Amino acid sequence: MSDATPLQRTPLYDAHVALGGQMVPFAGFEMPVQYKREGGGLEAEHRATRTAVGLFDVSHMGEIVVEGPDAIAEVDGLVSNDVRALGDGEACYALLCHPHGGVVDDLFVYRLSAERVLIVVNASNIQKDFEHLRAHARQPERIVNRSADFAQVAVQGPQAKALLALVAPGAALEAPRNRISLHGFAGHDVLVATTGYTGEAGYELYCPPSAAPALWQALLEAGAPLGVAAVGLGARDTLRLEASYALYGHELRDDIDPFEARVGWAVKLEGRSFVGSEALVARKAAGPTRRLCGLQMQDRGIARADYPVLHGGEVVGHVTSGTHSPTLGLPIAMALLPAALAKLGTEVDVDLRGRTRRAVVVKLPFYSRG
């Protein structure tokens, strides 16, 4: 991000500042990394999401809408998962791939109707994805970047359902995961999706930017007796890392394919043709040469993103993400390693700023709600 590009603010900027949000640049937006106040901070926000309910402003995410009589077939030809299998109000996780099979972005595809598909993409990739989609679409003009028309608030945690029942009574809160439905809130249309990025049950709410401050405030107020906390990007990252969800730019990149990143389950090749599918058929048949692994440190210290991983004294891979897990009280990391080393129990070394520390390959995810 060059200094010449002004940072964007979400409609909840003032709400973050009022809550003591420590605002930092992220993907071109000014976002709260944590809230500095009594009872706030990364660890407290993380714990609130695991034990009660967390509120996340994720309005920086991108929304791309595809409309028209052939919208389903169009999107199906662009993403890795089987969009034709979705019914109205159903969603799936998918990858956007290059013709060579590397990952352009990971995203969620929501089928709103037979003629309207919502694609939610990472903030850092909005323009890249939009250009990629248009470049490969049969009818590029029906792919529209609607990011400015949506704010997004995630409500995640064991009390998420109880909270939404207070703020959005009548919404389809019992729906299984990966559903989306329309609900009215204070005269605005809000899309309520049973999706999330924390490893907890919860919702992602898509609303017009003008409705976001009132929705946020209503959630905070109604959630107070439930232990609600506003949660910044810091805890969003520790939560997703415990749940071992990929973050684009770390576990997923242009030069990493879905099989290497262990999201091959979202690649449906049979009877389908989409951008990258030919390369992915070949890559799947050959088997990945690298695999994403969980690492547990045997020595003290945190293996962080981009630290080299060594085996037999040679650099064999790198850490993609690492942190200290607030839930487990341990350092956790994911690393991209040669397939031959990607076996549970394999011992490797991580170069922690010039000091070699022992780590062992462990099962992913680090956390799942039992």
Partner 1 sequence: MNIPSELHYTSDHEWARQTAEGVQVGITAFAAEQLGAVVFVELPKVGDRIAAGGAFGQVESTKSVSDLYAPLSGKVVAVNAALESAPEQVNDDPYGAGWMITLAPDDANAVAGLLDADAYRALIG
Residue 80 found at the interface with partner 1 (CB under 8 A):
no
**Among candidate residues 65, 61, 128, the one with its CA nearest the CA of residue 98:** 128
Nearer of residues 190 and 239 to partner 1, judged by Cβ: 239
Q: Is 302 in the site for partner 1 (CB under 8 A)?
A: yes
User: Is residue 43 a contact residue for partner 1 (CB under 8 A)?
Assistant: yes
Q: Which is nearer to partner 1, 199 or 326 (CB)?
A: 326
CA-closest candidate to residue 235, choices 52, 104, 364, 95? 52
Nearer of residues 171 and 235 to partner 1, judged by Cβ: 235
The least distance separating partner 1 from the CB of residue 57, rounded to whole angstroms, comes to 19
Question: Helix, strand, coil shares of the chain as percentages rounded to 5?
Answer: 25, 35, 40
Tokens standing for 314?
A: 């040679």
334-363 residues in contact with partner 1 (CB under 8 A) are 353
Side-chain half-sphere CA neighbours of 11 within 13 A: 21
Stretch that binds partner 1, among 106-114, 155-163, 260-268, 294-302 (CB under 8 A): 294-302
Candidate list 54, 157, 276, 326; residue touching partner 1; CB under 8 A: 326
Strand-strand pairing, 308-311 and 202-207: unpaired
CA dist 296 and 332 (Å) reads: 6
Please report whether residue 238 would count as binding partner 1 according to CB under 8 A.
yes
Alpha-carbon dihedral sign for residues 261, 263, 267, 268: positive
Q: Which of 11, 234, 276, 288 binds partner 1 (CB under 8 A)?
A: 234
Residue 73 or residue 328: which is nearer to partner 1 going by CB? 328
Q: Pick the binder of partner 1 from 125, 159, 194, 323 (CB under 8 A).
A: 323
Burial of residue 345 (CB within 10 Å: 0-12, 13-18, 19+) is: exposed
Q: Which is nearer to partner 1, 11 or 326 (CB)?
A: 326
Could you say whether residue 128 binds partner 1 (CB under 8 A)? Answer: no
Amino acid identity of residue 5, one-letter, is: T
325 vs 37: CA distance, rounded Å = 21
Nearer CB in complex with partner 1: 43/278 = 43
Size of the site for partner 1 (CB under 8 A): 16
Burial of 76 (0-12, 13-18, 19+ CB in 10 A): buried
Can you tell me the distance from the alpha carbon of 54 to that of 157, in angstroms, rounded to the nearest whole number?
A: 6
Asked whether position 10 contacts partner 1 by CB under 8 A, the answer is no
Q: Quick one: 169 or 354, whose CB is closer to partner 1?
A: 354
Q: Output the smallest distance, CB 13 to partner 1, in A.
A: 22
- Counting contacts by CB under 8 A, is residue 59 touching partner 1? no
Q: Would you state the structure tokens that stand for residue 280, as one six-digit string?
A: 């992915």
| Residues linked to residue 116 through DSSP beta bridges, in sequence order | 67, 113
Q: Which is nearer to partner 1, 33 or 212 (CB)?
A: 33
* Binding residue for partner 1, selected from 304, 305, 311, 351, defined by CB under 8 A: 304
Q: Are 238 and 323 in contact (CB under 8 A)?
A: yes
Per-residue interface string for the shown chain with partner 1, residues 183-222, x marking contact by CB under 8 A: ----------------------------------------
Cα(239)–Cα(321) distance, rounded to whole angstroms? 12
Which residues have a Cβ under 8 Å from the Cβ of 339 and sit 6 or more positions away? 287, 288, 289, 290, 291
Report the nearest approach of partner 1 to the CB of residue 198 (Å).
16
Tokens of 269: 């090749």
- Contact residues toward partner 1 (CB under 8 A) are 33-34, 41-43, 234, 238, 300-302, 304, 323-324, 326, 331, 353
